[in-house]
A and B are shown apart, each in its own frame.
Chain A
Amino acid sequence: MRRVTVNVSREANASLNDVTVVLDDRTILRGISLELPPGLTLLRGTNGAGKTTLLRALAGLVPLARGRRSIPGGPPLYIGHRPMLLRGLTARENLSFLAAFRGLVSSDVAGALRKWGLGDAMDRPIERLSAGQRRRASLARIETEQVPLVLLDEPFADLDSDALVRLRAALNTALVRGQAVLMATHMHHELDQDATAHYVLDDGALRVL
């Protein structure tokens, strides 16, 4: 089975070109153009500015009314507000399934979950984990699905200080691997120094900080 090799050049891992998204007759994103080279890009904006929609547009989860999305390295890893893990399965089963779906059967799921402090909890059904543990399990996918583009929507939610340290370590590893990480967050001060680019979304329009 294939193991993803991430391109470490400075070429964009993903781009949006003049993208407009309209949902329920409301224009959420207006003519967004964006290139995501390897590195950490922070996305800021007030509540309802369209951050989640921008990430979902990149993930292919919302239809584009206009424009084009390009992700040469294949489908991104998108981790949204919720854990996106199936209840009834354990953390290990969920992550193994998602890695296997990408053809990454050699992925070290147990090792990744242990790194996130879930050594004892990885074989418990997801619904028996706390919100913070579920969030940790979903973030462990950064390690198990090493893809060129990672999209994180408010990853700090539900995390304690220990998990914040682990997230920082996971991001650093991802950046060393040459992955592009786009993170929508209100807690940008936590990562300002690590970020290579900052954007602000304001009423559906994107500007560089």
Chain B
Amino acid sequence: MSALDRALLVAARDLAAERRHPDGFVAALTFTGLLVLIESLAFGPGQARQPGVASALFWIAVLFAATLVATRSFDRELEDDAIDAILVLDGGREAIYAGKLIAIAVVLGIVALAAAVLSLVLLDLEVALAGHLALVGILGILALPPVIVLTTLLALRVRARAALVPILSFPILVPQLVACTQGAAAALTGDASAAVGWAGILAAFALVYGVLGLTIVPAAIE
């Protein structure tokens, strides 16, 4: 069985568990929706409709949602020591990392899609380049989870994990957040070259942190 097969197996298992008990998904969806709504009200309709502000509000909400989904996913692993059954196996550590990345990205993608629809409707946004916006959205969804999953794994046995993961991961995620916000704002305003440029940066972040995680995780998980 190849490393990719093992990662897909873990991802399928996670998604099956999430489908049966979508507590992480529901929490993230509710949280994201409320955050977009409250932030829009706090800024007021005029300011919240500006592409830069609307994008920032959206991606901050998605970032918190990613943390929620990842935390719930690992809580489930630790409830009955289920993760140990995988860590014992050859390639288990890499598979946990990569599998979680895939599963969290899928769940986050659905949450982000719902939040995007809410933002577009609520703020009555005009999208100049829908394809570019989708590209930035997809790459942003791929760029955020590697850092969050990596820090969650590093803090796996720490009691204050729920607090530690955002403290460790958010500073590292600032460049990704900037790229997501700028890329989405560029797509909203019709600046195709800027949107593609930011999308490229997001792809690089996803790749670099994905590979970095795969390199660190086997030695780092206890």
Contact = CB atoms under 8 A, between A and B. Distances in A.
Given A62-B222, A97-B13, A101-B1, A86 B82 contact: yes
B89 A102 contact: yes
Contact of A101 (B17, B80, B92): B92
Contacts of A63: 222
Contact of A134 (B6, B13, B80): B80
Contacts of B124: none
Interface residues of B, number: 25
Interface string A49-87: 000000000011111000000000011111011111111
A78 B88 contact: yes
A74 B88 CA distance: 10
6 contacts: A1-B1, A76-B88, A78-B85, A86-B17, A86-B80, A86-B82
Interface in B37-93: 76-77, 79-82, 84-90, 92
A88 B20 contact: yes
B18 interface: yes
A102 B81 CA distance: 18
B21 interface: yes
B136 interface: no
Nearest to A84: B85
A125 interface: yes
Nearest to A1: B1
B105 interface: no
Contacts of B77: 86
A113 B32 CA distance: 41
A89 B20 contact: yes
B95 interface: yes
Contact of A88 (B16, B88, B89, B92): B16
A8 interface: no
A126 interface: yes
A97 B95 CA distance: 13
Interface string B150-193: 00000000000000000000000000000000000000000000
A154 interface: no
A98 B10 CA distance: 10
A126 B13 CA distance: 14
A103 interface: yes
B79 A87 contact: yes
B2 to A, nearest CB: 10
Contacts of A76: 88
A80 B20 contact: no
A100 interface: yes
Interface string A109-138: 000000000000000011000000010000
B16 A61 contact: no
A75 B90 contact: yes
Nearest to B14: A86
B211 interface: no
A86 B88 contact: no
B80 A87 contact: yes
A82 B81 contact: yes
